[in-house]
Amino acid sequence: GDAHRAHDTTFMIEVSSKHGFWRQICGGLSDEGSHEWRVPRRQHQGTYLLRVRNLSAQVVSQTVSITVRDEVAFECPAEGRGEGPCGGHFWSAGEIRTVRWACHGCVGKVQLCVGSQSGSWDALCESELEGGGGFAWELP
């Protein structure tokens, strides 16, 4: 009834802007669930924050840092979904991992970089790469 409907409208998902404001992605959410969000094509490259906010208590439930970089998507094989860059698991120094990607709508070549939480980016290889493929990377 009405009590359930009021409960459903207490949470929203927001994304930060370059200017420090928060923009709503969706609202009317219950206290648990998921939402598919397509990053807008007009979203500028950079680091943003996503958050889930409880409107009735004015409490931020969770904040996650995301980075928007062109239209390059990392491909994760079904058996490797729990491994970074898709799952965020830790990779050990000295390991060799294959990073696969697909670039949809990109023109020309891409550069494969590794980023830190501080927002700095270092190239993984000296040359530019094709818009899709794989690269064997030995972790430093």
What are the sequence ranges of the domains in the chain? Answer: 2-68, 72-138
Q: Are residues 13 and 55 in contact, defined by beta-carbon separation less than 8 angstroms?
A: no
Model-level pTM? Answer: 0.40
Tell me the per-residue pLDDT of 65-121, one tens digit each, with 9 for 90 and over: 676 665 544 544 444 444 444 454 555 566 666 666 665 555 555 555 665 555 555
Confidence of residue 132 (pLDDT cuts 50, 70, 90): low
Gyration radius from the chain CA atoms? 18
- The answer to whether 93 and 140 have CB atoms below 8 angstroms apart is yes
Which two structure tokens, joined as six digits, stand for 68?
């928007």
Tally of CA atoms within 13 A in the half-sphere of 98 that contains its CB = 7
Which has the minimum average pLDDT: 14-23, 48-57, 98-107? Answer: 98-107
Q: Report d(CA 82, CA 19) in Å as an integer.
A: 33
Average pLDDT, the chain: 61
pLDDT of residue 37 exceeding 70, the answer is yes
Average pLDDT of span 50-55: 76
What is the Cα–Cα distance from 46 to 65, expressed in whole angstroms? 10
Question: Which of the following CATH numbers is that of domain 2-68: 2.60.40, 2.60.120, 1.10.287, 3.30.70?
Answer: 2.60.40
